[in-house]
Amino acid sequence: MELTEKRLSGEELYHGRIIRVQLDRVRLENGTEAMREVVRHPGGVSAAILTQDNEMLFVRQFRYPYAQVVLECPAGKLEPGEDPFEAMKREQKEETGTTSDAYLELGRIYPTPGYCDEVLHLYACRVASWGEQHLDPDEFLKVERIPLQKALEMAMNGEIHDAKTQILVLRAARLVEEGKL
């Protein structure tokens, strides 16, 4: 088994400000054809940002698709051609008003591989300085500090629903435990 699919044709169904939607016809490895709906996304960044007191910074913001306020690690969308590390520093400053002196790169994740090509680049850092938020005009969020141990409990008992945030909490807890963060 090669576990591959070959794109035969496709059309763009929608081109928006953030995403594009494609409908592709593909050839499966057994020779049959199938249709694939694909959401094209520019990718993003997110970080576990910890204070010197092992509090983790989160943001609460209304997420329209779920019609509710969601607790998340600070995150943002990559601009075309933007370096993920520079994007993370930008998003950290914009959303939390903080900066850091050193970052740990935690790799990348595929949040929804069944239909979307989004790649999220993950980082961890400690706050080095505090300042003012610089939110986008259409961005409304509240920054919260939650002790890392409490955040870990929240991730484990299902109080944190956002996947990237669950991953970052778990990784940050392990890194702190190992003395690496």
1 occurs within a structural domain: no
Q: Is 110 helix (H, G, I), strand (E, B) or coil?
A: coil
List, for residues 98-128, the tens digit of each pLDDT value: 999 999 999 999 999 999 999 999 999 999 9
pLDDT digits (tens, 9 = 90+) for 166-175: 999 999 999 9
The whole domain housing 31 covers 6-40
Same domain as 86, residue 62: yes
5, 35 contact by CB (below 8 A): no
Task: Indicate which CATH number applies to the domain containing 112.
Answer: 3.90.79.10
Q: Does 49 share its domain with 116?
A: yes
Record the pTM: 0.94
* Total of domains in the chain: 2
Residue 117: enclosing H or E segment and its boundaries?
none
Say yes or no: 31 and 98 in one domain: no
